[in-house]
Amino acid sequence: MALPLFCIADEAKPFIHKILAVNKQDEESCKTFFLVESQDFPKHNRAFKESLKANEDFETEFVGASEQECRNWAREHQKHGEFIEHNIVAIADSRTAKDSTISLPVYKEHDQCKFEGYGILPPTPNAWYDWRVNAQGAAKVLIHLRYGPMETGWPTYFARKAELTDEDGVFDVTKADRVVCDQDTEICIYSRND
């Protein structure tokens, strides 16, 4: 499974090949992103692009769409295919063209837990939470919020978000990874060679 990647601004299109290049850094069987070009949901994951050449053009029906429209598309279609991650999307927008970051909204349903020192996390159920990250960090966000133990990931991403976000609004995934790893060494074996 991979994150559905939406390009919602023409000026972000030249950066999509760089974002998809993150897939080459991952294992062959594990891609970070699938480029969503059509409003129609494909029958198989081969219909999604996993890479683009440096100047390769592509068409997308999402230029001009809002983040909410992308979120709605993902929530509506995630139940039809087992090849896109559920409740998380990647969005390349007009800001992507300026600083090469992407928006990474994550939907948290009714699952909430009380964490000592932090209270109830996430603070609001059935809500979207958004992180602005460098594309290279998207896989770690996914791992920490979806597959890692919530005892370490949730306080780091929900309670310490402001502390780990710089003055430009970019969440520092590397620092967050260090915080999670300091709390739980077993889950962070994968990142020791980074």
pLDDT digits 0-9 by tens, 143-170: 999 998 899 999 999 999 999 999 999 9
Residue with tokens 């800001």: 95
Residue 20 has pLDDT above 70, yes or no: yes
**Using the 8-state DSSP alphabet, how is residue 44 labeled?**
S
Question: To 5 degrees, how large is the angle CA 86–CA 89–CA 93?
Answer: 170
* Strands 101-108 and 127-134, bridge-based pairing: antiparallel
Average pLDDT of span 105-134: 93
Average pLDDT of span 127-134: 97
Residue 62 has pLDDT above 90, yes or no: yes
Residue 124 is predicted with a pLDDT of 94
Q: Considering only CA atoms, which of 30, 33, 41, 38 is closest in space to residue 17?
A: 33
State the pTM of this model.
0.89
Token pair listed for 13: 């299109």
Average pLDDT of span 58-84: 93
Q: Is 193 exposed, middle or buried (0-12, 13-18, 19+ CB in 10 A)?
A: exposed
Distance CA 57, CA 136 (A): 22
Residue 74 has pLDDT above 70, yes or no: yes
Residue 31 has pLDDT above 90, yes or no: no
